[in-house]
Structure 1
């Protein structure tokens, strides 16, 4: 009489463990998809909003970010390059213009911040973006600041 009940308990326990494992795997997968942000990350950073309402400038910045930056940068985590959330709090805007347009020139000049980033990222060269105007860069930075 107890044998069927034991089997039911064993199957239920196995099902529950499998369900938990699938949920954990899904959460880890969502957090690792390139170019995607998990809702949990946004909730921690942005008080629970899935995506802030963007201004026109931030929408333009999002498009420019995806076209020029997203291959190497993410907002919320380190990738080939550093995560860019809060970058405007870490560096002066004029410095960012110079860095984005020609990071190699800034490194060659001996700029301490540029050399530090260069060394921290295994002396990987960041692409230069001389075609981006200061206004384009302002739009990208407005987008990266949207999640603060």
Structure 2
């Protein structure tokens, strides 16, 4: 099987691949931020100075996020993205279902399959936003 044929049959796998790569990148960047904060704390300790309370609070915040399985970013930042993600995945699901219905790209079953996956992701983000148990201000 040639690369072009392989790509034309499984191009939709780029969506989960991009998701996993971006999640890995976010995790790596969170690790780098935490490591930089710890190095700064070491510098304060070696010089005999007390670190600012904001630095310790930032490390505590990172620790709480890692315990709850979220990235080092603010949980409210993710909560702000959730409605967008629901609409994005629901819209993409509808587009793929429509393309499958119209048979514009030939294989309707593949389009329906991608539409179902994107629909499940939209539903998952919807339930996450409704029942996520995040702190409300």
For Structure 1 versus Structure 2, the TM-score category normalised by the shorter chain is: under 0.3
Higher helix share: 2
TM-score normalised per structure 2:
0.27
Higher RCO by CA contacts (8 Å cutoff, separation 6 or greater): 1
TM-score normalised per structure 1:
0.25
